[in-house]
Structure 1
Amino acid sequence: MDENQITAVTELDQTNYLTKVYAGGHFIYADEPEEVGGKDEGMTPGALLLASLGSCTAITIRMYADRKQIPLEAVKIHLTICKEEEMSASTKISRKIELTGDLTAEQRNRMLAIADKCPIHKMLINPIEIDTVLG
């Protein structure tokens, strides 16, 4: 395996939809809500997608603020997307960014532009190809 790649492993046994996710030595659960047969013991796959974008956005903004010594105290990212069964090629993610700190309008606008530099954002706005094989 190429050490420059990010990897993840997901496992699902006969438990209805509760999926174990392993990546980089860390572990989380994904699941579906009870109304569709899951146990609601983890984030849905759509929520995990939003979590990836939100955390990447916040980290990218924080890194920029730290490098430029901008007095950013906190970042909060609010994200929404349609239900998974409604997703299509035209699916839209809404992202609202809250910045806390004694920031100028210029600093706020620059950090808004920096948000789009996050690697997950860049990946999601471009066509993604998925190669699938049986193991």
Structure 2
Amino acid sequence: MIRCQSQERPYRTIFTNGTFSGACDAPPDKGGEGDGFRPHELLEAALGSCLAMTLSMYARHHRLPLEEVTVSVTLERPEAGTSVFACDIRLTGDLSETARARLLRAARACPVRKTLAGQLVVVEKD
């Protein structure tokens, strides 16, 4: 569970899982101070981090010589109701083309990717 709490400054919000904390804020052009991640950046980070972890786990399990994974994610919203996560995955290591293809196929098993690709329902609790 993540707990989010607004701060005295407009829009700044602290979030924590009880062990680690971070901050969100709106950019200055939206009335915030830009003192933290924007909420959509956290969605991008969740997907990119999960992709990197999934690929690292897959490579370790299959003993592939993957040295590093770098994932860049950009959330694009080309029209109302459509969200596109554009992911650029860079693999470093002495990998054959077959190993690279296996890794990129394994990226489809990323749990956050599966969550975002499914039907989403948001429920407010009292």
Relative to total residues, which structure has the larger strand share, 1 or 2? 2
Match of residue 118 from structure 2? 126
The aligned amino acid for 2:82 is S
Which runs of 4 or more aligned residues in structure 1 lie more than 6 Å from their structure 2 counterparts after TM superposition? none
Task: Tell whether 2:11 aligns with 1:46.
Answer: no
Are 1:93 and 2:79 counterparts? no
1:37 to 31, 35, 50: 31
Distance of aligned partners of 1:28 and 1:87 in 2 relative to their CA distance in 1, 3 Å threshold: farther
User: How many residue pairs were aligned?
Assistant: 126
Q: Deviations over 1:29-68 (max 9, x none)?
A: 0111111111111110000000000000000000010111
Change (3 A) 1:24 1:60: farther
TM-score, length of structure 1 as denominator length: 0.87
Structure 2 equivalent of residue 78 of structure 1: 72
**Residue pair 2:2, 2:15 contacting (<8 A) in 1 also:** yes
Task: Out of 45-54 and 12-21, give the one that drifted further.
Answer: 12-21
Kindly state the Cα deviation for residue 93 of structure 1 after the two structures are TM-superposed.
1.0
User: Residue 24 and residue 118 in structure 1: after superposition, are their counterparts in 2 closer, same or farther (change >3 A)?
Assistant: farther
Q: What stretches of structure 1 of length at least 5 have no aligned partner?
A: 1-6
Tell me the TM-score normalized by structure 2: 0.93
- Residue of structure 2 in register with 1:105 after alignment: 97
In 2, the alpha carbon distance for the partners of 1:130 and 1:35 equals 28
For structure 2, list consecutive stretches of 5 or more residues without a partner in the other structure: none
User: Post-superposition shift, 1:108?
Assistant: 0.5
Give the drift of 1:78: 1.1
- Which residue pairs with 2:62 in the alignment? 68
Give the whole-Å Cα distance in 1 for the aligned partners of 2:113 and 2:20: 22
CA distance in 1, matches of 2:111, 2:80: 22
Q: Which amino acid aligns with 1:74?
A: E
